[in-house]
Structure 1
Amino acid sequence: MRHYTKDNFVLTESVGFALVKARNLIVTEMDAAMKELDISSQQMGIMLMLKEKLASTPFELSKLLGIDTGLMTRMLDKLESKGLVVRSRDEQDRRVVNLSLTKAGTAVAAQIPEIAPDVLNARLKGFTKTELNDLRRLLRKFVGD
């Protein structure tokens, strides 16, 4: 089904506009909350992925987080310069770069779950449990998961 046509398309009423606006709100609020840890919301995602062992290479992180490889490299450079992440060459395939959290990075990553839920809960305060589950389901459907 075609939901939009040139005749009924209004930017501010489009799903894309709402998603971008929602993303920007969350990023701004999460960035402010993560300031005390000296990381951004995007860096937070990298650190949590490494902490939970959901990714171990820049390429895997790029795919999971939907970040282009150039931006990923710059963010990893910043995290490495802060002493939070370390890169190492894979022993079996020297072309592969493995990532891991340093001791300091592990300590910072451990603090994220103490901060991030408050940001999300503030934004979701008017949602019922059913509405939140519906939102999650619809977003998974939208992104094709």
Structure 2
Amino acid sequence: MSDYPEDIFLPVQRITFALSKARHLLTTEMDGALVGTGLRSSHVGALLLLSLGIACSSVELSRLLGVDPAFITRVVDRLERQGLVHRDRDRPDRRVVKLTLTEAGRDAAARIADIVPEVMNQRLSSFTPLEFATLCRLVTKLLDE
């Protein structure tokens, strides 16, 4: 790997490992908090984006969440089977499938909106306000395209 000298590459490996481990830890904790709801951490983003009206299609969910369209299709399939999401074909363009939350889906999104902050506040409890602001700023900078 000629572009990354060893003394530069190894710190990048450490941050990559740390970010991956942090994601896994948060996912595990979120799944634990969601036990009994029939939901998983992989459903959280889709339900919240739909409930807030930020997204209304699988394409938008995929783009906003930064995940593979096939993954979103599986998530929406499961949410639909659970009676939380309804698919509607757009009348002018039948290729477009609009997603709407059912009443049960809106209730689930409201429960999630209570659960997610609890999990995050517990995980971030050792951060000072300045550390949290710095973390948010640096992660946002990392994600900037």
Structure 2: gaps of 5 or more residues: none
Structure 1 runs of 4+ aligned residues shifted over 6 Å read none
Q: How many equivalent residue pairs? A: 142
1:6-45 matches, within 5 Å, as 6-10=6-10, 14-45=14-45
1:88 correspondence with 2:88: yes
Aligned to 2:53: 53
Aligned to 2:118: 118
Structure 1: gaps of 5 or more residues: none
Letter in 2 for 1:30: M
Percent identity, aligned pairs only, is: 45
Aligned to 2:108: 108
- By how many angstroms is 1:91 displaced? 1.6
- By how many angstroms is 1:12 displaced? 8.8
TM-score when scaled to structure 2?
0.92
TM-score when scaled to structure 1?
0.92
Task: Give, in whole Å, the separation in 1 of the partners of 2:127 and 2:96.
Answer: 43
- By how many angstroms is 1:127 displaced? 0.3
Aligned to 1:99: 99
* Residues 119-128 or 13-22, more deviating: 13-22
- By how many angstroms is 1:10 displaced? 3.0
Task: Give, in whole Å, the separation in 2 of the partners of 1:91 and 1:29.
Answer: 41
